[in-house]
Structure 1
Amino acid sequence: MAIPRALDPTGVVLVDKPAGPSSFRIVARVRSRTGARTGHAGTLDPFATGLLVLLSGRATGMQDRFMKLDKRYLTEIDLRARTTTGDPEGDQLEEHEAPSPGALEEALDGLRGEVELPIPAVSAVKIGGERAYRLHRRGVAVEMPTRPMRVHELRLLAYEDDVARLDLLVGSGTYVRSIADALGGHCVTLRRTEIGPFHVDEADEARIVPLEHALARLAEAP
């Protein structure tokens, strides 16, 4: 029996998302080119850049497996102000002096491992049956729930002009914007460099990695 076109081609597409377009626009662009059913293994905010793992054809049925992979990010956090969204697109909530290097290191120590942090107001989590980001766009103020988040690695790469540059490896469901907010700041830049065994340097939107090859890499990953 012939496979319906919507389920073919099957595989994984690695995309290096630029700042600006939404992840869903990238998904739609790939779907339009291939003609296949297309999903994702975790989105990025419009201001963020980096790796998107898209699932094509029958691979969309394995979305949960890919969604649960750890993710690595590089971010720059302005520690002088918090915003309503934890990123540059939100309204400023407060302004204050940035912490000393010693105080910052102490704060970072408290964010390693499993931490309980509020979910950002512009997340896709449902509040009363509606997506939080839609409530935020309408100006509806809600108290966001907290969630256990896992920070496997958190390294301070640089701290200059009150901006901290961090390298983080986090578990699924962890928001880097929540970590920025916990530090008293907001993300200025955010770039995802890895999802599980896949790296942004491999990104090629025109290439579909066969599903069996992608699954083999998952099996070989530590």
Structure 2
Amino acid sequence: MIENTSGAVFINKPSGITSYKSLDTIKRKLATRKIGHTGTLDKFASGVMIVLTGKMTKLAGYFTGLDKDYEAVFSFGKETATLDPEGEVIAESGIPDLATIREKVKSFKGIIRQVPPAYSAIHINGKRAHEIARGGGTPDITEREVAIYTFQILSWKTPDLTVRIKCSKGTYIRSIARDLGRSCGSYAYVTSLKRTAVGKIRIEDTIDSNELDPENDIVRGKNLFSLLPDLQILSVNREIIPGILNGKKLDVKLFPGMDLSYPRFALFHEDDFVALISREMNRLKYNFVSGDLYGSYLG
């Protein structure tokens, strides 16, 4: 039995199973239900998923915000209801030439606006969009702004375009395929999708969940917090820890070396995680405090 299951596991989700189902093996091996992923991958998709466990599930919001890298295949000439291989074909058209596609790709770089797919996990009035769509309704999904940092064409073999895309959180690659197809006077959907990176974590850093070794594959402590952008890791003196654990008002003077250009700070005493705090204007506030240290530092 693993004494401390709090941390992160980086898995390579296979295609053919849902993101939720992919967590079953980890739950079983760690003997815990306190577990969650930080970004859904469609059932047909594969690739990097960051899975948080134990008390580190509180970090989910921070990891969800990380940029993502994908490799995908867009098939032109057809559009499916789900914009992926699992949906029925709802529209067909001619296939554009590569020159047209290259020209239109230019407008999909930088800050763009897109409407997420009808078959998605977006919440609308308490229901998932895909639940509404599968029930025969038309979900009213608001257009959103996302950032496309890079959009590379890797190959073209009619009708399939292989691409590499780096984008912000909340970007739907299926929506890009749909909108690119329509902008070319055609249709398109995603036939293959692999997430190759989440933030600093690349596909090479992941494991198959079936091969999880709880003793060695859980990422913890400073190694975990170093993956978050805009965060400074600070070492604190033992003397101030009881005050932090008791919620004492935070003062910059308590933290020599604090760089106020950062919005967030992970506090450590040696290898012990103490607290995550953040800065708003010139005031510091608690985000969450480690509950593992009370016996050691308040005894």
TM-score normalized by the length of structure 1: 0.92
The alpha carbon displacement at 1:123 in A equals 1.1
1:15·1:203 contact (CA, 8 Å) conserved in 2? Answer: yes
Residue 55 of structure 1 aligns to a residue whose secondary structure is strand
The alpha carbon displacement at 1:93 in A equals 2.0
Q: 1:174-214: CA deviations, max 9, x gaps?
A: 00000000012000000001000001111123121114212
Q: 1:139-191: CA deviations, max 9, x gaps?
A: 22334321112111100000112110000000000000000000120000000
Residue 69 of structure 1 aligns to a residue whose secondary structure is coil
The match for 2:65 among 58, 68, 73 is 68
Aligned to 2:108: 111
2-structure distance, mates of 1:171, 1:26 = 23
The alpha carbon displacement at 1:70 in A equals 0.2
- 1:39-188 equivalent positions in 2, closer than 5 A: 39-184=36-181, 185-188=188-191
Q: 1:15-64: CA deviations, max 9, x gaps?
A: 11111111101123212221231011101011001111100111100111
Aligned to 2:27: 31
> Is residue 209 of structure 1 aligned with residue 219 of structure 2?
yes
2-structure distance, mates of 1:177, 1:127 = 19
Larger RCO, structure (CA 8 Å, separation 6 or more) = 1
2-structure distance, mates of 1:97, 1:217 = 45
> Is residue 199 of structure 1 aligned with residue 196 of structure 2?
no
The alpha carbon displacement at 1:100 in A equals 1.2
The alpha carbon displacement at 1:12 in A equals 0.9
The alpha carbon displacement at 1:137 in A equals 2.1
CA, structure 1 residues 194+141, in 2 after alignment: closer, same or farther (shift >3 Å)? same
Letter in 1 for 2:171: T
Unmatched 5+ stretches in structure 1: none
TM-score normalized by the length of structure 2: 0.69
The alpha carbon displacement at 1:13 in A equals 0.5
2-structure distance, mates of 1:29, 1:66 = 21
2:124·2:140 contact (CA, 8 Å) conserved in 1? Answer: no
CA, structure 1 residues 84+6, in 2 after alignment: closer, same or farther (shift >3 Å)? farther
Q: 1:43-90: CA deviations, max 9, x gaps?
A: 101100111110011110011110000000000000111122211112
CA, structure 1 residues 134+217, in 2 after alignment: closer, same or farther (shift >3 Å)? same
The alpha carbon displacement at 1:219 in A equals 4.8
Residue identity over aligned pairs, in percent, reads 28
Look at both structures and tell me which one has the larger radius of gyration over its CA atoms: 2
1:78·1:162 contact (CA, 8 Å) conserved in 2? Answer: yes
Which is further off, 199-208 or 212-221?
212-221
Which is further off, 210-219 or 88-97?
210-219
Q: How many residues align?
A: 217
